[in-house]
Structure 1
């Protein structure tokens, strides 16, 4: 059984656009104080709701804890703005049946026309191939056994996805991080507003800082300052 877990905060617009693709699936929305119609939108879509403190790490951990109280053997962690290719269900079913020891993630589709969106998609593919490091916005498909083995998501407000992937690679090996034969698209408005190069370079420097041991508090200050 699969549970889909999505952290939200004021995500009404994204949920309105994207929840329909999960029809028929067990959906858990982990919210952190939305003031718009996020909860109503999720409830009307048949989602289960769990509420609590803010921060993507705590929210994902809370959603997973909720899922693990059920018969869920797999969890798919997604962002609210994720738009999946039409074959996502068959790709996930195949993975769960034939690659139970592996962690899955969606391939990153080019988000728009032009050089910079193309370059971003190339760099994401390179990161996933060379470092076996998909980000949370690509969706992370993790079995109950694997999730519990590494201790789940940490209560980090930033790079919670990198943190759990680092631990999964240590325990499972790099070869057990597998790209699914399906794609994800996400909201690119922040890149368009800030500039593709500027935002991408900032994100790379933040990742480098995290991987070199800088505190999350220091990285958060940089994240919000820029």
Structure 2
């Protein structure tokens, strides 16, 4: 029913956290496949994806993952994001109505402080994105990223919550 795409580079621990939140969806048959689109990781990202049974696309962007996806509906996530209880029902209901794109509601514990929301920059994929394969293909011009797709689409809010990936540290 749903293909999950995760675009990553050197996020082995974050990827593992995200994949663990998808296990219930795989068991219930909601998650058909997980495709990890890796942009040149030098850590053990490949091992994490392989051990979890994901399709792994080395040196590939999300556009390649979208083309490979077998499901009509896609879920784009950042590595480190975790879906909370109730996400499967919300996605199934949304897909059942055949409506456009949707984002999860940010869980209270991962909401940014007011000034950070204003001045800290916006991460377009922080709330995930549920989108049809057809719409994603039309938005993934050339070798665009998952964030490019998320920026260019208007989406409604799902009732289910997501713990957004932590903000990457700038070293």
* TM-score by shorter chain over 0.5: yes
**Which of 143, 165, 168 is 1:155 aligned to?**
143
The CA distance in 2 between the partners of 1:2 and 1:162, in whole Å, is 17
* 8 Å Cα contact 2:8/2:79 also seen in 1: yes
Aligned CA distance change for structure 1 residues 155 and 120 (closer, same or farther; 3 Å): farther
Deviation at 1:3, TM superposition (A): 0.2
The CA distance in 2 between the partners of 1:187 and 1:151, in whole Å, is 23
Give every structure 1 segment of 4 or more consecutive aligned residues whose post-TM-superposition deviation is greater than 4 Å. Answer: 156-159
Deviation at 1:80, TM superposition (A): 0.7
Gaps of at least 5 residues in structure 2 are: none
Aligned CA distance change for structure 1 residues 73 and 39 (closer, same or farther; 3 Å): same
Aligned CA distance change for structure 1 residues 120 and 42 (closer, same or farther; 3 Å): farther
* 8 Å Cα contact 1:27/1:47 also seen in 2: yes
SS at match of 2:108: coil
Match of 1:40 in 2: 47
The CA distance in 1 between the partners of 2:18 and 2:145, in whole Å, is 24
**Which of 122, 135, 141 is 2:124 aligned to?**
135
Match of 1:103 in 2: 101
TM-score, normalised to structure 1, is 0.62
Gaps of at least 5 residues in structure 1 are: 54-58, 125-132, 170-176, 195-223
* 8 Å Cα contact 1:106/1:179 also seen in 2: yes
Aligned CA distance change for structure 1 residues 10 and 109 (closer, same or farther; 3 Å): same
For the aligned residue pairs, the C-alpha RMSD in angstroms reads 2.9
**Structure showing greater Rg:** 1
TM-score, normalised to structure 2, is 0.79
Aligned CA distance change for structure 1 residues 9 and 180 (closer, same or farther; 3 Å): same
Match of 1:119 in 2: 114
